[in-house]
Amino acid sequence: MPKWLRTLVVPLAVLALVAAACGDDTPPPGGDGDGDTPECNADLSVGIAYDIGGIGDKSFNDAANAGLLAAIDEGLVCEENTDSLEPDATGSNRDENVIALADAGHNLVIAVGFAFSPGINENAGNYGRTQFAIIDGFATCGTACGLANDGLTNVTDLTFEEHEGSFLVGAAAATKADELGCDTVGFLGGQTGPLIEKFQAGYEAGVAAIDPNVEVLVQYIGDDVTAFNDAVRGESLSTAMYDDGACIVYHAAGASGAGLFNAAVSADKLAIGVDSDQYQLVSAEQQPLIMTSMLKRVDTAVHDAIAQAGDGSLEAGGQVFGMAEGGVDYSKSNTELMTDDIITLLDDLKQQIIDGDIIVPSEP
């Protein structure tokens, strides 16, 4: 595991001197000299700034962490050359964390969440030797998005076609609802705004593609980023949708989605997770009720950004991870609920999206 919250204080040049003093038997960074572990890229240093919920949210931040761990396992970066910082409960120190990682001299700083965009747009120009990558970022949009600076040469926005993956789980929800004789499903969003509305739009379109008579109830937790870390309100809103007839609720609410899973157990109804395969992450009591999850491959984006920074191919601008790029998908872990007929249906819809035969709306 990375050494969290630890700043790299020993310059690589000093490490090289120490290694030379120890003689020729000193193993290379990341290896033991016998080939038991891969040699790692000691020229790269990576800092990650997580967003509200931090490590352990079983969703967005955990997916980013998985990408970092995969990069370490593959030797793309040495474990001792990685750092991470988590924000306070409101995210008010988000920009301070990014600046602290840049000040520590990391070659690459990855910010996990769109809310980092304004701060990085403002500050990236002060760190010309640091590359910044933002999950769901819009920093490079510049003045067109109401930000201060255009033409940033060291910032990459990593975005996803969330509506495409949400279409598939919407189709799954409608199919299961029809099987259950249910005519209502639900959507729980975190913060209001265009990002989470993409999830809503795709989900609603997927439901309608299977059965336009199935109603989709919609609830949002709040209008700022704290909405992604309010499991209590997530539970109450989910309970209300279940009480109003929803037999399945899909969430795009970060750590607040834990409240949905609690509500599902109380109501003995189904839920759909997001970002990670949440069937694998919840309690044994909740697990049978998690039908599927919309996989948003934040882990892939983080891993690939580290790989590209290491080989010099990370370019400024934007990278988009859609279904065709493997950036979004759905999980099949719950074999009791994700039956072969549903999987066959979703795989067919998935191919139609990749081929361009289905164009999924990005606005509700």
Written as one string, the DSSP assignment of 70-81 is HHHHTTSS-GGG
Residues 74 and 187 in one domain: no
Residue 194 inside a domain? The answer is yes
- Residue 31: what pLDDT? 45
Residue 279 inside a domain? The answer is yes
Q: Are 330 and 342 in contact (CB under 8 A)?
A: no
At 57, the pLDDT band (50, 70, 90 cuts) reads confident
Query: Which residue type, as a one-letter code, is found at position 256?
Result: S
- Residue 85: what pLDDT? 97
Residues 32 and 108 in one domain: yes
Residues 34 and 21 in one domain: yes
Query: Is the pLDDT assigned to residue 26 strictly greater than 90?
Result: no
Residues 80 and 199 in one domain: no
Distances from the Cα of 267 to the Cα of 220, 232, 277, 280, angstroms:
20, 16, 22, 21
Query: Is the pLDDT assigned to residue 27 strictly greater than 80?
Result: no
Residues 253 and 312 in one domain: no
- Residue 37: what pLDDT? 55
Query: Is the pLDDT assigned to residue 345 strictly greater than 60?
Result: yes
Could you tell me the end-to-end alpha-carbon distance of the chain, in angstroms, rounded to an integer? Answer: 40
Query: Is the pLDDT assigned to residue 114 strictly greater than 70?
Result: yes
How many helices, marked H, and strands, marked E, lie in the chain? 10, 12
Residues 172 and 292 in one domain: yes
d(CA 363, CA 48): 30
Query: Is the pLDDT assigned to residue 200 strictly greater than 80?
Result: yes
Q: Are 195 and 60 in contact (CB under 8 A)?
A: no
DSSP letter, residue 42: T
Looking at per-residue pLDDT, the higher value among 71 and 36 belongs to 71
Residues 228 and 108 in one domain: no
Q: Look up the domain containing 262 and give its range.
A: 162-296+334-355
For the segment 123-143, the average pLDDT, to the nearest whole number, is 97
- Residue 23: what pLDDT? 39
Residues 156 and 184 in one domain: no
- Residue 59: what pLDDT? 83
Residue 1 inside a domain? The answer is no
* Mean pLDDT value across the chain: 91
* Per-residue pLDDT tens digits for 283-324: 999 999 999 999 999 999 999 999 999 999 999 999 999 999
Residue 171 inside a domain? The answer is yes
Residue 39 inside a domain? The answer is yes
Distances from the Cα of 150 to the Cα of 111, 121, 142, 203, 286, angstroms:
19, 8, 5, 34, 46
Residues 104 and 195 in one domain: no
- Residue 32: what pLDDT? 46
Residue 200 inside a domain? The answer is yes
Domain count, the chain: 2
- Name, in order, each residue with C-beta under 8 angstroms of 359's C-beta and a sequence gap of 6 or more: none
- Residue 239: what pLDDT? 98
- Between 4-18, 242-256, 275-289, 312-326, the lowest mean confidence (pLDDT) is in 4-18
- Residue 58: what pLDDT? 83
CATH number where 113 lies? 3.40.50.2300
- What six digits make up the tokens of 33? 């000299």
At 41, the pLDDT band (50, 70, 90 cuts) reads very high
For the segment 244-262, the average pLDDT, to the nearest whole number, is 97
- Residue 38: what pLDDT? 67
At 60, the pLDDT band (50, 70, 90 cuts) reads confident
Residue 7 inside a domain? The answer is no
Residue 363 inside a domain? The answer is no
For the segment 211-228, the average pLDDT, to the nearest whole number, is 96
